[in-house]
């Protein structure tokens, strides 16, 4: 035990860890939002509900199908991704030609429907989800105790974030994707099926949200409203980072998580609001966001 700025190291590093965990989820979710926004020009309000769906699917798989966490990690994103593809084909694709706001309103309505159904069956209280056996316990690092599961969440989300970055910025598929974001008509003229790419992008983005949901299930309880408040914070993260850059979304997500964790140590009353305050400051000095291009 030692002290930093009069704060016991245990408390400081403990909150830093929580900050990193929150940051992992901010990064994963804002990444999905940014990818979807890039292709569909729609801000996906259902993202929080799809994150919650991921957690619930993990819960169902464990309790009704006997499939463990590792299976859920694969199955939940696929299931949610497929429902996302269905949503895109049936509803969203008719809105691209209209004002942005209709996409927002539609996805907000969908979020209300999903959250309402789950609240109806599961109430507002959380359901516990066990940490998988292989990730029980933790490491004593000398200055703090690091639970294995939390370390896993941080590592996995870093891997997923950078894999996504690599996919979009460094592969041929990603190049098509970026080209279609810039000028869909021209890319279609080259014989690339842009509408299908848009559909798959939406499926991929919401799949990321579901993956985050499965990862969150053992840390926070599984509850119907777990996504609703989180998504608003993620919106603020997106405003701060700007949606133009994948790396920007990742860095902003983790950075804000850490800042939020530190605020909990030094000024706990402001921990709920610090991200919004940062957003206001960023808007004052850099209206386009930290990594954004002026639109």
Nearer to another protein, 182 or 269 (CB): 269
Nearer to another protein, 131 or 232 (CB): 232
Look-up of token digits 């605020």? 263
177-186 contacts: CB < 8 A, separation 24 or more? 177/38, 177/39, 177/201, 178/38, 180/39, 181/38, 181/39
Taking the complex as a whole, the smallest distance from the CB of residue 123 to another protein amounts, in Å, to: 9
- 138 neighbors 147 (Cβ within 8 angstroms): yes
Nearer to another protein, 85 or 236 (CB): 236
Binding site for another protein (CB under 8 A): 37, 43, 91, 94-95, 98-102, 104-106, 108-117, 119-120, 228-229, 232-233, 235-236, 238-239, 269, 272-273, 276-277, 279-280, 283-284, 287-288, 295
Nearer to another protein, 173 or 281 (CB): 281
Taking the complex as a whole, the smallest distance from the CB of residue 30 to another protein amounts, in Å, to: 11
Cβ contacts of 51 within 8 Å, gap of 6 or more: 25, 29, 209, 210, 212, 213, 216, 226, 227, 230, 231
Q: Tell me which H or E stretch contains 3.
A: strand 3-4
Nearer to another protein, 139 or 272 (CB): 272
Taking the complex as a whole, the smallest distance from the CB of residue 22 to another protein amounts, in Å, to: 15
- 26 neighbors 8 (Cβ within 8 angstroms): no
Taking the complex as a whole, the smallest distance from the CB of residue 285 to another protein amounts, in Å, to: 10
Q: Is 144 helix (H, G, I), strand (E, B) or coil?
A: coil
Taking the complex as a whole, the smallest distance from the CB of residue 280 to another protein amounts, in Å, to: 6
Taking the complex as a whole, the smallest distance from the CB of residue 109 to another protein amounts, in Å, to: 3
Nearer to another protein, 8 or 287 (CB): 287
Q: Tell me which H or E stretch contains 263.
A: helix 246-266
Chain centre distance of CA 19: 15
């Amino acid at each position: 035990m030692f002290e930093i700025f009069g704060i016991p190291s245990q408390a400081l590093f403990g909150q830093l860890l929580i900050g990193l965990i929150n940051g992992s989820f901010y990064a994963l979710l804002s990444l999905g939002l940014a990818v979807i926004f890039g292709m569909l020009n729609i801000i996906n309000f259902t993202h929080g509900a799809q994150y919650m769906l991921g957690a619930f699917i993990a819960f169902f798989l464990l309790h009704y199908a006997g499939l463990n966490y590792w299976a859920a990690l694969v199955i939940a994103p696929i299931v949610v991704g497929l429902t996302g593809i269905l949503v895109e084909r049936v509803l969203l694709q008719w809105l691209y030609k209209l004002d942005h706001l209709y996409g927002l309103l539609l996805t907000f309505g969908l979020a209300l429907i999903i959250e309402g159904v789950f609240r109806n069956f599961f109430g507002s209280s959380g359901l516990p989800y066990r940490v998988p056996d292989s990730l029980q316990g933790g490491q004593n690092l000398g200055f703090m105790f690091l639970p294995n599961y939390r370390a896993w969440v941080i590592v996995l989300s870093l891997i997923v974030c950078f894999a996504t970055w690599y996919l979009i910025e460094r592969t041929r598929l990603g190049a098509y994707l970026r080209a279609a974001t810039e000028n869909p008509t021209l890319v279609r003229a080259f014989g690339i099926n842009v509408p299908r790419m848009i559909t798959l992008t939406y499926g991929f983005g919401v799949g990321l949200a579901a993956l985050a949901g499965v990862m969150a299930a053992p840390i926070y309880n599984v509850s119907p409203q777990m996504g609703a408040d989180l998504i608003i914070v993620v919106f603020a993260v997106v405003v701060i980072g700007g949606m133009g850059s994948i790396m920007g979304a990742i860095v902003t997500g983790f950075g804000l998580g850490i800042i939020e964790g530190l605020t909990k140590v030094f000024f706990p009353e402001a921990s709920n609001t610090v991200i919004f305050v940062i957003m206001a400051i960023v808007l004052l000095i850099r209206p386009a966001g930290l990594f954004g291009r002026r639109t």
